[in-house]
Amino acid sequence: MQGNVDKLTKCFLKNPIKYEYLDSLILENKEDQLFSSDALLWLKRALELIHKFFENILNDVSVSENLKDHLQTAYDITLKQYHGWLVQNTVTLIYRWVPNRSDLLGNGEYHEENIAVLRTYLPVMGMHLNYIDKKLIIDLTQAYEVKTNLIRFKM
């Protein structure tokens, strides 16, 4: 995840005024290969995993201490389809280190405060991820179509 953040930061720092908005960064990719849409795509997918994990925790009516199933479900929905057998099995090992609910969100008053924060910010995070998803699909599809048409024209 950090590698993708670094790629995007490097591109942004080349011209912070021009790339003040993410849309500018995505549009630039259509015209130039300065920006790696792949980095944004994988960062978005990782953030979707985090979003789904916390959404699963919020929707857990049993308020289970064990969060491994929530992470596994989030992974299955968001990233598993993009990973091969080796990575999928490596991720299975990671489930051993998932903290329990109390360690992650605290107890009593702290737990309630953290849950309130999640209820406030998760929907906003979801809206941003959906926007990025739509923007990437639209812009990258158009870029692919332009590139394909140019290749056809050259033949």
Domain count within the chain: 1
Q: Scanning the structure block, which residue is given the tokens 């107890």?
A: 107
Q: Is the dihedral of CA 145, 130, 64, 61 positive or negative?
A: negative
Find the radius of gyration of the CA atoms of the chain: 19
The per-residue pLDDT for 35 is 57
**Apex CA 51: angle with CA 74 and CA 72, to 5°?**
15
Residue 94, domain CATH: 1.10.3520.10
Q: Is 59 helix (H, G, I), strand (E, B) or coil?
A: coil
Cα angle vertex 94, ends 62, 131, to 5°?
Answer: 75
Better-predicted residue by pLDDT, 97 or 142: 97
Q: List, for residues 121-140, the tens digit of each pLDDT value.
A: 999 999 999 988 888 776 66
Residue 84 dihedral angles phi and psi, to the nearest 5°: -80, 180
pLDDT digits (tens, 9 = 90+) for 35-52: 567 788 889 999 999 999
**Burial class of 90 by CB neighbour count within 10 A (0 to 12, 13 to 18, 19+):** exposed
Interatomic CA distance for residues 154 and 81, integer angstroms: 35
What pLDDT, on a 0 to 100 scale, did the predictor assign at position 152? 44
- The average confidence (pLDDT) of the chain is 84
Stretch 48-59: mean pLDDT: 97
| Residue span of the structural domain in which 117 resides | 1-153
Would you say residue 31 has pLDDT above 70? no
137 or 145, greater pLDDT: 137
